[in-house]
Chain A
C-alpha cells in the first residue's frame, strides 16, 4: 500500500475510532440507548477480544498447535491467569512477554 492510501486509511480509522468514543458523550447526552441495545453492546467487548486472541494463541503459525513448543499459548495462559487475579493490565502483558522472550533465549 502506498503512503497516500495508508494515510487515507489511518484518517478513516481515526474517524470510526472517534465515533465510538464521542457518540455516547455528544449525541446521547441526556438520553440513553434502548435497554436491549445496551445489554447486547455490553457483550461485544468480551466476544470480540476473545475472537481476536483465540487464533493468535491456538493457531500461531496458521495451524492448530497445543504442543509444548507453542510458547505464545502457555505465556498467554499465564498472563490471562494473572490478569484474572489482579485485574491489572500491564503486569500480565509484561509477564507474558517475559516468558516468551526467556523461552526463546534459553530454548532457542
Chain B
C-alpha cells in the first residue's frame, strides 16, 4: 500500500488545499453567480439567498428550488424536490464510507455537510492514490464551499446589471449541470434505460399538465425501470 505524503514538504496544508480546490472553484464561482442572480430575481431576500448557499450547498438543487420559489410552489413541494435531486448523494456517501475508517463521528458529520458531486470526485481520486490526510480533506471542503458562497454573493451584487440573465445564458446553467451530471451516470444499458424512461415519463407528465411532482414521480419510476432492466439482463438462464 503506497502512501504518498499528503502535501509537498515545505508547503502548508492550506496552500496544497488551495491548489487542489482551484479547479472546483473555477466552476463554482460562475455557477454560484448564476444562482445568486436568479435567486435574487426570484424574490428571495439577500440573506435567504446566501443562507441557502451556506446551509444547503447543492448547486442543482438550489437552482431547481429558485425556479419553484419563483413559481410560488408550496414548501413541501420544494423540500421533496430538493430531497429527490440530492438523493444521488446517498450513493456518494456510501461509496466514501469505507474510505473514512477511523474518522470520529463528528469528523464524519463535518465531512458529510460539504459532500458534493465535485468534492466527491476530487476526494475519490486523492484517496485512490493514498492521500487520505484528514486536515487537508476538510480544508478542501471548506475552501470549495467558500468559493460557492463567494460566487453567490457576486451574483447578488451584479444581479441588477445582468437583468434577467438571458443574454448571458444563465437559464442554461441548470440544464447544463444536469446534462453533465447525467453523462457521468450513464454507465451501462440499465442506466441508459433508467434515463430514457425517466425522460419519457417526465415529458408525458408535462404534456398532460402534471407539474410539480411529475418529474419527481417520473424519475423514481424511471429508476425502477432501470433496476428491472438490470435484473432482466443479469438473470440466470432457466
Give the B-binding residues of A (Cβ under 8 A): 1, 3, 5-14, 16-26, 28-29, 32-33, 36, 38-59, 64, 72, 75-76, 79-80, 83-84, 87-90, 92-94, 96-101, 104-105
Contacts and interface: CB of A to CB of B under 8 A. Distances in A.
A93 B93 contact: no
Given A7-B51, A29-B108, A56-B174, 7 more contacts: A12-B79, A25-B108, A25-B112, A43-B227, A44-B194, A46-B186, A48-B215
Contacts of A39: 227, 230-231
B105 A26 contact: yes
Interface of B: 26-27, 30-31, 43-45, 47-48, 51-52, 55-58, 61, 64-65, 69, 72, 75, 78-79, 82-94, 96-97, 100, 105, 108-109, 111-113, 115, 117-118, 166-186, 190-192, 194-203, 206-207, 215-216, 218-227, 230-231
B206 A55 contact: yes
A3 B82 CA distance: 19
Which secondary structure dominates where chain A touches chain B? Answer: helix
B176 A45 contact: no
A40 B195 CA distance: 13
A53 B175 contact: yes
Nearest to A29: B97
Contacts of A76: 172, 175-176, 179
A47 B176 contact: no
B94 A47 contact: no
Contacts of B86: 16-17, 20-21
Contact of A17 (B56, B92, B203): B56
A36 to B, nearest CB: 8
A7 B50 CA distance: 11
B75 A48 contact: no
A6 B69 contact: yes
Contacts of A99: 169
B183 A17 contact: no
A27 B108 CA distance: 11
A97 B52 contact: no
A16 B191 contact: no
A48 to B, nearest CB: 3
Contact of A92 (B179, B215, B222): B179
B224 A51 contact: no
Contacts of A22: 93, 108-109, 112-113
7 contacts: A3-B48, A13-B55, A13-B65, A45-B88, A48-B87, A54-B198, A97-B172
A28 B88 contact: no
A90 B26 CA distance: 9
Given A25-B100, A39-B227, A101-B167, A54 B88 contact: no
